[in-house]
Structure formats: structure tokens, C-alpha cells
Amino acid sequence: MREHTADPAELRGDCERCFGLCCVALPFARSADFAVDKEAGRPCSHLRDDHRCAIHARLSRSGFTGCTVYDCFGAGQRVSQVTFGGRDWRGAPADHARRMFDVFPVVRQLHELLRYLTEALTLPAARPVHADLRRALAETERLTGGTPEELAALDVAAHRQRVNVLLLRASELARAGTRGRKKNRRGADLMGARLKGADLSGADLRGAYLIAADLTGADLRGADLIGADLRGADLTDADLTGALFLTQPQVTAARGSAGTRLPDSVGRPAHWTAGG
């Protein structure tokens, strides 16, 4: 029987169909990721009238590295074209804009869950929970179709928790086939850690802080990387074949090389070179 999965194309950001929501709805603080402070609901000063970024080609050089690794998982076009029927926030009543900005982060979380659930349903070893995963996927898709009022009132944290139980079980089943001892590094502080050549195959790295970690040549095959922070991590020649729940923003935030092996679900970032 063919598995029920979300359309992968709709789980990737399509700026052409979005009203620049990530550049308006979300706040950011001046830091290594952002050159300035911006409060939620205020348009970034670089957002043009056509909802395009005026410095898109030089974001990193301009101090906006955080923008280069952000992905709404398709929530932007969903909220813009479906939830609000293609009605732009520009020129609309303040209440319309506020509701759109409130709903966007909620739908973004739901779309992220759709991404994970869709991947979990491709794991043969997770078949014992496929029925539950399909139900969770259908329910999450139903929630994304809610009205602005329903989405704003949604307890998305509670829904995430319910889905996470299933994703964790799917991960455990998938990683059970990895040989050797499965390392549990969930939520571990591994910032700047020297893990060159480390055997992390089948490891639980959920939510681990791997910022600027040296993972050169590390074996990350089948590791669970859901929510792991890979900003600045060196993945040169690392093997991430079959890594679970790895997303494009995570990979883009890291450094890598032509020798880095990636799952088919993510692409090789353009800034990766043979030299990392």
C-alpha cells in the first residue's frame, strides 16, 4: 500500500509565493547571526516592496548569516496563499497583518512536523509505528488547513509533544539495526568538541549543541540529528548517510566538503567547496 506522505515540494520555502513573512513576522537580535535588532511584526529594512530581499546576494557579508540558514518548510506560501487567500499584509488593516504574523510561526512548526513525519514513513524499520505516523500526519495536515483564528488558538507545543513520541519511537526502531553501542548524546553540550573521526553511527544526537564542533571524517551514519545545532560544525569528509531527520538549514549552517556524504533528503550547500 502506498504511504500517505506530504508533498515534498510544499515543504520547501517558495519565496515567489510568499509575502516576505519571515522578514516581517519574526524577531531577531543583534548577534553573530544578525547585524541589527528587529522586533516581531516590523519589516526588515532590507525588505523591498515586492517582498524580495535587497541584499540577498550578500547576506553573509552584510552580517545576516541567520537568514541564509533559515527555512520556513513551506509555511510562508501556505499562510500567504491558502490561509489568507493571497491577500497581502501590505495595505491591509492592521488586524489582518497581525493575524498573519501570529499564524506564520504556528504553521511553520506544523510544516516542520510534516517534514519529519514524511521521512519517518520512509523508514522500513519503523513499520511497527507506520499506522500511528500516518494518523499523526493526517492530523497535522488537517491542522494546517485551519482558519487564522483556529491556528492562532492551537496549542502547537502539545501537538509537537504528541508527534515527538512517535518520531522518537521511529528513530529507536531505525537505529536499532546499527552495529555496536548506540551513543546517547541527546541535548549534549558539544560546542567546539573535538570529534574528528568519531564513531557516532546510530547515535542519539537530538537537540545536541554541535556548534563549531570538529566532526571531520566522523561516522554519523544513521544518527538521529533532529534539532541538533550544527552551526559552524566542520563536516569535512564526514559520513551522514542515512542520518535521521537532518534538514537543509542544519546542513547549510555547517561547513563541509566534496567528500562529505549526505542523505538524499538534503542538498549540498553551494558554499561548500573541496576545501570545506
Indicate whether 200 and 235 sit together in one domain: yes
Specify the pLDDT at position 166: 98
- 259, part of any domain: yes
Indicate whether 71 and 186 sit together in one domain: no
- 2, part of any domain: no
Whose cell is 547576506? That residue is: 59
Q: Answer for the pair 151, 103: CB distance below 8 angstroms, yes or no.
A: yes
- 78, part of any domain: yes
Indicate whether 185 and 165 sit together in one domain: no
- Name the helix (H) or strand (E) containing 252: helix 248-253
Domain that holds residue 206: 180-276
Whose cell is 489568507? That residue is: 84
Specify the pLDDT at position 69: 87
Indicate whether 167 and 202 sit together in one domain: no
pLDDT tens across the length of the chain (276 residues): 344 556 777 899 999 999 999 999 999 999 989 999 999 999 999 999 999 999 998 998 999 999 988 999 999 999 999 999 999 999 889 999 999 999 999 999 999 999 999 999 999 999 999 999 999 999 999 999 999 999 999 999 999 999 999 999 999 999 998 877 678 999 999 999 999 999 999 999 999 999 999 999 999 999 999 999 999 999 999 999 999 999 999 999 999 999 999 999 899 998 886 444
Indicate whether 170 and 195 sit together in one domain: no
- 3, part of any domain: no
Q: What is the CATH number of the domain that holds 271?
A: 2.160.20.80
What whole-number distance in Å separates Cα of residue 152 and Cα of residue 146?
9
Domain end call among 118, 148, 174: 174
- 199, part of any domain: yes
- 264, part of any domain: yes
Indicate whether 59 and 75 sit together in one domain: yes
Specify the pLDDT at position 2: 43
Specify the pTM: 0.91
38: helix, coil or strand?
Answer: strand
Distances (CA, A) of 170 to 14, 105, 166, 182, 184: 29, 26, 6, 15, 16
Indicate whether 154 and 187 sit together in one domain: no
- Eight-class DSSP state of 184: B
Indicate whether 169 and 199 sit together in one domain: no
Indicate whether 164 and 209 sit together in one domain: no
**Cα–Cα–Cα angle for 79, 45, 51, rounded to 5 degrees:** 35
Domain end call among 144, 174, 204: 174
Name the nearest CA neighbour of 182 among 196, 203, 166.
203
- 1, part of any domain: no
Indicate whether 83 and 184 sit together in one domain: no
The burial class, CB within 10 Å (0-12 / 13-18 / 19+), for 28 is buried
C-alpha cell at 231: 552551526
- 65, part of any domain: yes
Q: How many separate domains does the chain show?
A: 2
H helix runs in 48-192, sequence order:
65-68, 75-78, 94-120, 130-144, 148-153, 156-175
- Eight-class DSSP state of 269: P
Indicate whether 169 and 191 sit together in one domain: no
Domain end call among 174, 192, 213: 174
Q: Answer for the pair 239, 259: CB distance below 8 angstroms, yes or no.
A: no
Count of beta carbons in the 10 Å neighbourhood of residue 57:
9
Indicate whether 98 and 232 sit together in one domain: no
What whole-number distance in Å separates Cα of residue 74 and Cα of residue 56?
19
